Amino acid sequence: MSSNIKNEENVFLEGERELLLDHDYDGIQELDNPLPEWWKMTFYGGIIFGIPYFLYFVVLGGPTLYEEYQKELTFIEAVRLEMAGNLDLFDPVDYEAKILIPENLARGATIYEENCLACHADRGQGDIGPNLTDAFWIHGDGSPEFIYKMVVNGFEENGMPPWKDFLSKEEMIQVTAFVQTLKNTNIEGKAPEGNKVD
């Protein structure tokens, strides 16, 4: 609010004389400046919104914040489980399309170096893990589908960890494609293990 001292000459801006209140406090006069319309509309809108909000959440027993949180958490868990199930699915057509892209093989080599090299050695010749360059396979037949599922689920009894919690489906396909390039390169390394696959 603007104010003027009574014992001085009052100076009014345009339209202020009509706003002057008919009283003073210790010689101070006040103008009755109305609140802006947007402020009043916001205030009244808040009241109008608050009535059904109060009725729904307090009177009619609408969900609490914790209940809404639990609902969202349940939804997220369902999506996570669905995605985890999709990780196991191997699509040969999609795989064949992706291995034709050089960037995917290059990315697969990088993923191999970052995650697989410690057990399978730098060129796949085997160390703790089996040799990936020969024609022998401990489990399965060495097909892309088999290798992909081994990457996804691992074989913890033999020390192979599941990578589905650390790599995306795209990354697991890329590293599968790279491991396929190691097959039958017969790099000298760990002795053959498992059964020979023609």
Tell me, yes or no, whether 10 lies in a domain.
Answer: no
Residues 76 and 171 in one domain: no
Whole-model pTM above 0.85?
A: no
State the CATH number of the domain containing residue 160.
1.10.760.10
Domain that holds residue 48: 37-86
Residues 80 and 44 in one domain: yes
Using 70 as the pLDDT threshold, list the residues of the chain that sit under it. 1-13, 81, 83-85
d(CA 151, CA 50): 54
Tell me, yes or no, whether 29 lies in a domain.
Answer: no
Residues 107 and 78 in one domain: no
d(CA 181, CA 139): 18
Tell me, yes or no, whether 28 lies in a domain.
Answer: no
The per-residue pLDDT for 6 is 43
Q: φ and ψ at 82, to 5 degrees?
A: -65, -45
The per-residue pLDDT for 1 is 46
The per-residue pLDDT for 76 is 86
Residues 180 and 101 in one domain: yes
Residues 41 and 105 in one domain: no
The per-residue pLDDT for 12 is 66
Domain count, the chain: 2
Residues 119 and 48 in one domain: no
The per-residue pLDDT for 84 is 63
